[in-house]
Amino acid sequence: MTAVDINAVKTEADQLFLRKKLIGFALPTVVFAYLVYIFFAFDISGIAGRANWDNAVTLASDSWSHKVHVTRDNRSGEITYAVEGERKGTYPEGQRPDWVSGDEVITIDLGGDHVVRYLPGNRTEIELPGFQLIEVRAEGRQLTSNLPAELPDWISASNRRIGITTPEGRITLTGARTEVFNYFSGWELFWFTLDSPYHGQGFVNILLGDRIDPERANIKGAVSDWWNNAMWRHKDVAWAIGETILMAFLGTMGAAIAALPLAFLAARRFSPIMIIRAATRRIFDFVRGVDALIWTVVLARAFGPGPLTGALAILITDTGTFGKTFSEALENVDQKQIEGVSSTGAKPLQRYRFGVIPQVVPVLLAQILYFLESNTRSATIIGAITGGGIGLMLTQAIQTQKDWEEVAYYIVLIIVMVMFMDWFSGWLRGKLIGRKG
């Protein structure tokens, strides 16, 4: 090699290095510049101002705790005890939580020396450690209290409404009603609502103990009361999860069935006519490009909200995706196997059945099963849009903005459902085509 050659190679190498160096610096710079642009375009600095941290606190604490309301109607003097203040969670007549005592004077022990007393004549006494005894009287729509003019920030007071927030619970007083919220951890009434005879019974007691409800056998009654629990709606939740999985199943399998014959039309090897091939491919591109969102919107107009609409939206979109991948799999089929089968005098249909299908089935099944899992997630999202399945229950629970324990419950269920489908499709794949790699 001559010196000239070496020099040429050297400059070439130098240029290559320079280019690589430039790319090495330019790429991070571009990414950084883009992120700076996004920082301003999305107004990230303003997010702290717009964020509602009270919401975050409510969400975080409510998702794993519940509160019991003790409410005195100041007009009738009637006192109600209800979990989360809901009618479904109201204590039946004659029952009340054990931290409430007294008949004339109702004493509510919030714990930690925080005590609230409902006195006759719509008077209320609130005893808090390290603070004076608060006395409030409600008359008509007015409140008169002995609160000092200077108030700590955990008390808000006017002559119409007084709110006191303590670590042990919250107290709100208005002319019409006096309410105490006592907070507890855990999901209350998850198993049985208060009107069920099985509430408060231990698991062992229900399983092995004496008959609790004379009408029904223990296990049967307990299961039925749990299943029809009005607070947590286990039956509806189970149906919703079933609907979501059904959407994913119908959509995926329907798409696979529809896509298989179309894929033959789109594969060069099996479809000699160029126009048909191109047309089928454009159809695949079109249905994929329109996307599940638009299909959902369009189909919901025709079929109304529900699982069928979601299933059809998944079906149509995935027909495009499957068609594309199936036809690619068909293009890559090994010709030898087909020749072998045709050498035995097999007719075209038999050539497909014994020469082509066994080759592509593992690829197709892997694809279908992967999509089954991914579509469970899509079905949750589509359900939230079109109204069906667990996605709808989740959006409803979030929109009411108070049932955060239900939101947490649904989120856990959704994650478990998707992970189960992931495991299940992997298991099925292992059974059907053997583990790969």
**Is residue 391 within the footprint of other proteins (CB under 8 A)?**
yes
Question: Rule CB under 8 A: is residue 307 a binding residue for other proteins?
Answer: yes
The type of residue at 362 is P
Whole-number Å distance between alpha carbons of 429 and 218: 41
Instruction: Tell me if 305 sits within 8 A of 387, measured CB to CB.
Output: yes
Using the rule CB under 8 A, is 304 a contact of other proteins?
yes
By CB under 8 A, name the one of 38, 207, 217, 278 that touches other proteins.
38
Residue 68 Cβ vs other proteins, minimum distance, rounded to whole Å: 24
In the DSSP assignment, the letter for residue 91 is: P
Nearer to other proteins, 78 or 331 (CB): 331
Binding-site string for other proteins from residue 312 to residue 341, where x marks contact by CB under 8 A and - marks none: -----------------------------x
The Cα diameter of the chain in Å comes to: 112
Burial of 369 (0-12, 13-18, 19+ CB in 10 A): buried
Binding region for other proteins (CB under 8 A) out of 154-162, 214-222, 224-232, 389-397 = 389-397
Count the site residues for other proteins by CB under 8 A.
69
Distances (CA, A) of 49 to 35, 45, 52, 192, 306: 20, 8, 8, 42, 38
Other residues' Cβ atoms within 10 Å of the Cβ of residue 403: 20
Closest contact distance (angstroms) between CB of 340 and other proteins is 10
Nearer to other proteins, 28 or 92 (CB): 28
The only residue of 350, 357, 358, 427 in contact with other proteins, by rule CB under 8 A? 350
Nearest alpha-carbon partner for 136 in 126, 124, 120: 124
Binds other proteins (CB under 8 A): choice among 162, 250, 364, 393? 250
C-alpha distances in Å from residue 78, one per residue of 70, 93, 193: 11, 11, 22
CB of 86 to other proteins, least distance (A): 20
* Residue closest to 227 by CA, chosen among 215, 242, 239: 239
Q: Which of residues 253-292 bind other proteins (CB under 8 A)?
A: 253-254, 285, 288-292
Decide: is 247 part of the binding site for other proteins (CB under 8 A). yes
Asked if residue 166 lies in contact with residue 128, where contact means CB atoms within 8 angstroms, the answer is yes
119 is a contact residue toward other proteins (CB under 8 A): no
As given in the structure block, the two tokens for residue 166 are 């303590």
- Least distance in Å: CB of 104 to other proteins? 43
Mark residues 41-60: x for contact with other proteins by CB under 8 A, - for none: xxxx--x--xxxx-xx--x-
421: burial class by Cβ within 10 Å (0-12, 13-18, 19+)? buried
| Nearest distance from C-beta of residue 181 to other proteins, angstroms | 21
120 in helix, strand or coil? coil
Binding other proteins (rule: CB under 8 A), the pick from 82, 265, 297, 366 is 297
Q: According to CB under 8 A, which residues from 207 to 246 bind other proteins? A: 243, 246
Q: If you write DSSP's letter for every residue of 324-348 in order, what string do you get?
A: HHHHHHHHT--HHHHHHHHHTT--H
Contact 411, 63 (CB under 8 A): no
Contact flag: residue 365 with other proteins (CB under 8 A): no
- Per-residue x/- marks for other proteins, 13-32, CB under 8 A? ------------------x-
Whole-angstrom distance, CA of residue 383 vs CA of residue 385? 5
What's the distance, CA 216 to chain centroid? 36
Smaller CB separation from other proteins, 132 or 400: 400
- 22 versus 35: smaller Cβ distance to other proteins: 35
Rule CB under 8 A: choose which of 117, 199, 269, 377 binds other proteins.
377
Region from 119-127, 137-145, 215-223, 392-400 binding other proteins, contact rule CB under 8 A: 392-400
- Asked if 401 and 269 count as a contact pair (C-beta separation under 8 A), the reply is no
Does the footprint of other proteins cover residue 433 (CB under 8 A)? no
Nearest to 195 by CA among 95, 268, 345: 95
Q: Which residues contact 32 (CB under 8 A, 6 or more apart)?
A: none
Output 262 or 311, the one with its CB closest to other proteins: 311
According to DSSP, residue 44 is labeled G
Binding residues for other proteins, per CB under 8 A? 31, 34-35, 38, 41-44, 47, 50-53, 55-56, 59, 243, 246-247, 249-250, 253-254, 285, 288-294, 297-299, 301-309, 311, 341, 344, 346, 350, 354, 377-378, 380-381, 384-385, 387-388, 391, 394-395, 398, 401, 407, 411, 414-415, 418-419, 422
